[in-house]
Structure 1
Amino acid sequence: MDKLTHFNDQNRAKMVDVTDKDVTSRIAQATGKITMHPETLNRIHEGKIKKGDVLAVAQIAGIMAAKQTSQMIPMCHLIPLTGVDIKFEDDNDKTIIITTTVKTKHVTGVEIEALLAVQTALLTIYDMCKAIDRGMVITDIHLVEKDGGKSGHFVYQDQ
């Protein structure tokens, strides 16, 4: 097991020192899904949710979350993002799948930014549709892939 790097010599939490790491291109992709009543998804498709365009708002919320990760997650570094993309797929029945891709050229990775973007976009969908469907379920949030940096390439393997 690798030594945990988020603890100082007094065994207290610290932000990892990345001062001496090389700047490299880094990318992370994360995904998650929200399941709802079929009528809720139909109303999203038809633009009949009173709060507005659900997917447009969720997309902006996810991008904003990625940009604010270091303010939300205590040990995350402030990372200059060079790209954030959020895509939506659905099964035309009851499930929306969100995939985020986050990029940077920096000394540390953007996995948490990608995961936070997915979760925020999913929560935004829930928030915008909760008046008609409080039984929505958010599931399967995970890192799909990451590349760049010392730890190299990772691809999720279904367990």
Structure 2
Amino acid sequence: MLSHLDNQNNPAMVDVSAKAVTWRTATAQSIVVLPAEIMELLSGGELQTKKGAVFQTAIIAGIMAAKKTGDLIPLCHPLGMENCVVTIRVSSAYEVVIQCTASITAKTGIEMEALVGASMAALTVYDMCKAMSHDIVIKETKLIEKTGGKRDFKRA
């Protein structure tokens, strides 16, 4: 049986009442590919547009979104995150690498918060740059690592 279905195959929130409280962390990553004309605006590790500082705004958006994950995903438990850090760096090939790490002491995992945070930060980069080009690609969003709970995970 899938964890989000009850005995009658109806959607259901997972009952975590019997689970142990453990320290849990999760890191997710999104990659945004920007065209050369946008990347030429990069200065001092920040991308400035008419809308303002792109990376700083994306970091705030990612944190805000991670805090709202339980409101956005129907069967996701509302969690009071203890920490959320969004980092942004530019790699080769015009890629903006966004990572969101969330942590909590709880009965359920926090990987959805990390994934939502990274995703929203990527969408914010798109939104702030779309006036200059629509040739922007959000290439991938994936879980990088999670700890705590039943099993740990680390992408090789």
TM range (shorter): over 0.9
Distance 2:110 2:48 in 1: 35
The one of 11, 14, 29 equivalent to 1:13 is 11
SS in 2 for 1:134: coil
The one of 22, 25, 44 equivalent to 1:24 is 22
Pairwise CA distance, 1:62? 0.1
Percentage of identical aligned residues? 39
| 2:146 aligned residue | 146
With the length of structure 1 as denominator, give the TM-score of the two structures.
0.92
Pairwise CA distance, 1:39? 2.2
Distance 1:132 1:42 in 2: 12
SS in 2 for 1:81: coil
Distance 1:5 1:16 in 2: 6
Distance 2:83 2:48 in 1: 31
Q: Deviation digits for residues 46-105 of structure 1, max 9, x if unmatched? A: 654000010110000000000000000000001110100011111265210001100000
Q: RMSD of aligned C-alpha atoms?
A: 1.3
Matches within 5 A, 1:1-159: 3-45=1-43, 47-91=47-91, 94-150=94-150, 152-157=151-156
Instruction: Decide whether the 8 Å contact of 2:47 with 2:55 is kept in 1.
Output: no
Say if 1:25 and 1:50 are closer, same or farther in 2 by CA, change over 3 A: same
Distance 1:57 1:130 in 2: 15
Pairwise CA distance, 1:144? 0.3
**Alignment-mate amino acid for residue 18 of structure 1:** V
Count of equivalent residues: 154
Q: Which runs of 5+ in 2 are unaligned?
A: none
With the length of structure 2 as denominator, give the TM-score of the two structures.
0.94
Q: Which runs of 5+ in 1 are unaligned?
A: none
Say if 1:22 and 1:51 are closer, same or farther in 2 by CA, change over 3 A: same
Distance 2:49 2:80 in 1: 34
**Alignment-mate amino acid for residue 98 of structure 1:** I
**Alignment-mate amino acid for residue 36 of structure 1:** L
Greater fraction of residues in strand = 2
**Alignment-mate amino acid for residue 37 of structure 2:** E
Runs of 4+ in 1 over 2 A off after TM superposition: 44-48
Pairwise CA distance, 1:44? 4.1
